[in-house]
């Protein structure tokens, strides 16, 4: 190693390195907390003053990070936050954890990464380690980040060190977190890889070095494309089972008993979150630059994107049995977060279902204990709705009032047996309601047989005030 690399390595090993994290969201804040907990003087940088103020007060806005932990680290002087990139001047290492969304044209929006890199470049100094964690296309670190940093006159691999390490955050996962999920690291040279690995190994249990940033970038895209394609397959099987009159949930459950050669994936109303609906398109976009057509990825994306439309057809079927149309009906959506037991609504298919129903004239209300308020902007701007929507208290009376209840996110706190008993009709996209019932329509399963003489719901006291959400 060069003398400068040796000096930085010694600072890391002795926890004297001053570390920074740009972007304090679902990825950045947990990382900053882990680094501070490991004993590093840690500075978080974010352009959102609300996040900075919250951290300064010792408050967490991320469910996976406890406020008590943030408060303890802030009080100990090991964690602080700022909106100013001037803090970079005092740092030895900095991790970039900013969003990487897609444009409407399905090509990468690099504006957040560009803003972070430009802010760092303004204060970049010799001996510094820069690590990109934001998910992006293969080649970003060397083709996009490195030239911007080298425009300062400093040379990567000589004056500063550069690496890519993909984030692997799974919000709401009680078992795997930043500390115990293996960290893949790929630097532009062996020294960069070694320094990045040393930094992470101080706070994370296992480090997986790879030969280059491009390999590390590709690792992340493979992981999420694998999930997107397999979920797309599960969704297509669900559509097929709907036509064949077969219960897809029973099929997958039985197939999952095979101890080898099969991994269960489950259908749903579509893909949501900050990674799986987006990352495969980064890969297909980059492939097109090389003249390669990623047909598997594109097809899976089309299937997954079609699921909210299919859910609306099932809602129409459920209302049809009551001799009602979507237009003018009250539809209660259970869950707008993209997955269970979290408050993250990014790319949530529930929002697509909500908008489709609104455009068809339904009166849409929702209940989600993790998302108390939904602004107009959150669900792509429902025309004619100017006021924020608020989560409904999930009582038997509220359920019975709706013409159709739709389970879109299967939060564990919901009493689904009560939902089934109280509802006129339920469309269950998550197999949250056990068994078969005359008023329950499941995604990818035979619907109840229409019988006008059969009561739609069991007797229930609609004045019951039991609140479950």
- What is the CATH number for 285? 1.10.1040.10
Both 356 and 312 in a single domain?
A: yes
The pTM of the full predicted model, rounded to 2 decimals, is 0.87
Give the count of beta carbons closer than 10 Å to the beta carbon of residue 62.
23
Q: Pick the residue with more confidence: 289 or 268?
A: 268
Model confidence pLDDT, tens digit, residues 132-154: 999 889 999 999 999 999 999 99
Q: Is 455 a member of any domain?
A: no
- Asked whether residue 145 falls in the same domain as residue 256, the answer is no
At residue 164's C-alpha, the angle toward residues 161 and 106, to 5°, is 135
Percent of the chain with pLDDT over 70: 94
How high is the pLDDT of residue 450? 55
Residue 379 confidence (pLDDT): 64
Of the residues 211, 238, 267, which one is the last residue of a structural domain?
211
> Where in the sequence is the domain holding 413, given as residue range(s)?
308-442
Pair (239, 372) in one structural domain:
no
Average pLDDT over residues 311-329: 96
Mean pLDDT value across the chain: 91
Mark whether 320 and 372 lie in a shared domain.
yes
- In a domain? residue 450: no
Mean of the pLDDT values across residues 461-465?
43
CATH number (domain holding residue 111): 3.40.50.720
Say if residue 241 is in the same domain as residue 338.
no
Residues 295 and 312 in one domain: no
**Is residue 346 located within the same domain as residue 392?**
yes
Q: Is residue 464 part of a domain?
A: no
CB 275 within 8 A of CB 224: yes
User: Residue 448: inside a domain, yes or no?
Assistant: no
pLDDT tens column, 37-67: 999 999 999 999 999 999 999 999 998 899 9
- Asked whether residue 321 falls in the same domain as residue 176, the answer is no
User: CA dist 232 to 266, 303, 392, 409, Å?
Assistant: 9, 6, 31, 18
What is the bridge-based pairing of β-strands 426-428 and 404-407?
parallel
pLDDT of 415-459, one tens digit each?
999 999 999 999 999 999 999 999 999 999 998 865 554 444 444
Question: What is the model's pLDDT at position 83?
Answer: 97
Given 97, 241, 275, 404, the catalytic residue: 275
Segment 152-157 shows an average pLDDT of 97
pLDDT digits (tens, 9 = 90+) for 385-416: 567 899 999 999 999 999 999 999 999 999 99
Residue 170 is assigned to a structural domain of this protein: yes
One domain for residues 411 and 329: yes
Closest CA to 342 of 433, 411, 391, 415: 411
Give the tens place of pLDDT for each residue, 7-37. 999 999 999 999 999 999 999 999 999 999 9
Which of the residue ranges 176-190, 295-309, 376-390 would you say has the lowest mean pLDDT? 376-390
Residues 261 and 402 in one domain: no
Nearest to 311 by CA among 422, 409, 176: 409
The β-bridge relationship of strands 373-374 and 389-390 is antiparallel
Residue 198's nearest CA partner among 330, 58, 9 is 9
64 domain residue, yes or no: yes
Closest residue by Cα to residue 157 from 185, 195, 122, 121: 195
Joined together, the tokens standing for residue 284 give 């297909």
Which of 299, 333, 363 is the endpoint of a domain?
Answer: 299
Distance CA 161, CA 282 (A): 25
Residue 198 included in any domain: yes
- Asked if the structure places residue 341 within a domain, the reply is yes
CA distance 5 to 164: 17
* pLDDT computed for residue 106 by the predictor: 73
CB 84 within 8 A of CB 119: no
Number of domains in the chain: 3
Q: Assess whether 289 and 435 both reside in one domain.
A: no
Share of the chain above pLDDT 90, in %: 80
- Whether residue 157 is predicted with pLDDT greater than 60 in this model: the reply is yes
Note if 404 is an active site residue: no
Please report which residue ranges of 178-275 form alpha helices under DSSP H: 190-201, 213-244, 248-255
Same domain, 170 and 227: no
Contact between 395 and 465 (Cβ < 8 Å)? yes
Among 272, 299, 326, residue at a domain's last position: 299
């Amino acid at each position: 190693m060069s003398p400068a690399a040796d000096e930085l390595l010694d600072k890391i090993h002795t926890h004297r390195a001053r570390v920074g994290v740009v972007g304090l969201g679902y990825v950045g804040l947990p990382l900053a907390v882990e680094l501070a907990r490991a004993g590093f003087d840690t500075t978080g940088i974010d352009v959102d003053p609300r996040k900075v103020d919250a951290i300064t007060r010792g408050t967490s806005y991320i469910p996976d990070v406890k406020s008590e932990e943030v408060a303890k680290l802030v009080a100990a002087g090991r964690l602080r936050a700022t909106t100013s990139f001037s803090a970079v001047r005092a740092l030895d290492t900095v991790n970039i954890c900013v969003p990487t969304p897609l444009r409407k044209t399905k090509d990468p929006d690099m504006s957040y990464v560009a803003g972070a890199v430009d802010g760092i470049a303004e204060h970049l100094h010799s001996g510094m380690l820069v690590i990109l964690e934001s998910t992006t296309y293969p080649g970003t670190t060397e083709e996009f980040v490195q030239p911007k940093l080298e425009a300062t006159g400093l040379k990567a691999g000589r004056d500063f060190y550069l690496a890519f390490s993909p984030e692997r955050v799974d919000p709401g996962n009680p078992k795997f977190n930043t500390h115990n999920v293996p960290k893949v690291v790929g630097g532009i040279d062996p020294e960069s890889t070694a320094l990045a690995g040393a930094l992470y190994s101080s706070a994370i249990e296992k480090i997986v070095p790879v030969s280059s940033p491009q390999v590390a970038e590709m690792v992340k895209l493979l992981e999420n494309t694998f999930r997107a394609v397999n979920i797309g397959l599960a969704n297509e099987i669900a559509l097929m089972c709907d036509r064949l009159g077969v219960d897809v949930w029973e099929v997958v459950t039985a197939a999952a008993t095979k101890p080898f050669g099969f991994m269960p994936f489950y259908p749903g109303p579509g893909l949501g979150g900050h990674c799986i609906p987006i990352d495969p398109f980064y890969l297909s976009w980059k492939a097109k630059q090389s003249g390669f057509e990623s047909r598997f990825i594109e097809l899976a994306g089309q299937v997954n994107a079609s699921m909210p439309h299919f859910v609306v057809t099932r809602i129409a079927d459920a209302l049809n049995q009551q001799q009602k149309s979507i237009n003018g009906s009250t539809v209660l959506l259970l869950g707008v977060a993209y997955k269970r037991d979290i408050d993250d609504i990014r790319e949530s298919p529930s929002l697509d279902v909500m908008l489709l129903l609104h455009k068809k004239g339904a009166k849409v209300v929702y209940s989600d204990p993790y998302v108390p308020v939904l602004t107009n902007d959150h669900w792509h701007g429902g025309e004619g709705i100017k006021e924020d929507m608020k989560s409904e208290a999930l009582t038997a009376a509220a359920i019975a009032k709706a013409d159709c209840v739709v389970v879109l996110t299967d939060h564990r706190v919901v009493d689904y047996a009560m939902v089934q008993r109280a509802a006129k009709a339920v469309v269950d996209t998550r197999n949250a309601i056990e068994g078969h019932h005359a008023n329950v329509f499941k995604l990818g399963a035979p619907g109840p047989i229409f019988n006008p003489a059969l009561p739609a719901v069991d007797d229930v006291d609609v004045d019951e005030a039991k609140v479950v959400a």
